[in-house]
Amino acid sequence: AASLHADIGEVLLTPETIAQRVGELGRELAGDYADKRPLVVGTLKGAVVFMADLVRAIEPVPAGLSLEFIRASSYGAGTVSSGKVALGGTLAAADIAGRHVLLVEDIVDSGRTAVALVDHFKAAGAASVKMASLLSKPARRTCAYKPEYLCFEVEDKFVVGYGLDFDEQYRSLPYVGVLRPELYTGFE
């Protein structure tokens, strides 16, 4: 097994646990999107690792499945958040119109990013917009939102790994772990 990063206090989800659930979700999505020519959209950067594993688990492959990415980041990260979410990237409305969009996220926390993404894709004329998220922290919600597809609900702990960062670090860890509190105390 891979060694545990020194900054991680506890592993919440092992690579095996993640792989098992992602495989299950992929098969479910293959059924639900079989005839829908899905446009699978990953949110940069947190969703990259989950996206790579999830799309390979969507089998049999729905005809017309294609992949895109969108950048989403919260304004005013830190102590004061304006509550605004900036979207960026090259996805044109013409590429979205009429498509069944499946958003892929690493985590739904306050719910603001998810709501902004859903609003954006609906406004661009998507035939449907749903989300598959690796994690959800319902305790942190300020915007009512529930992803249609979810791998794991987690407690309100500072989780990193499998795409999730703290100050851009730890995204490459193959598991989801809890960051040692002394590493972010006074940061948030």
Which sequence positions are flagged as catalytic? Answer: 109
| Backbone torsion region of residue 54, taken as left when φ is above 0, otherwise alpha when ψ lies between -120 and 50, otherwise beta | alpha
Q: Which residues contact ligand PRP by CB under 6 A? A: 43, 45-46, 72-74, 105-114, 165
3-state secondary structure at position 61: coil
Q: What are phi and psi of 184, to 5 degrees?
A: -125, 0
How many positions of this chain bind Mg ion (CB under 5 A)? 2
Site map for Mg ion, 29-48, x if CB under 5 A? --------------x--x--
CB count, 10 Å around CB of 2?
9
Site map for Mn ion, 42-81, x if CB under 5 A? ----------------------------------------
Interatomic CA distance for residues 136 and 153, integer angstroms: 5
Give least dist CB 98 to ligand PRP, A: 25
Interface residue list for Mn ion (CB under 5 A): 165
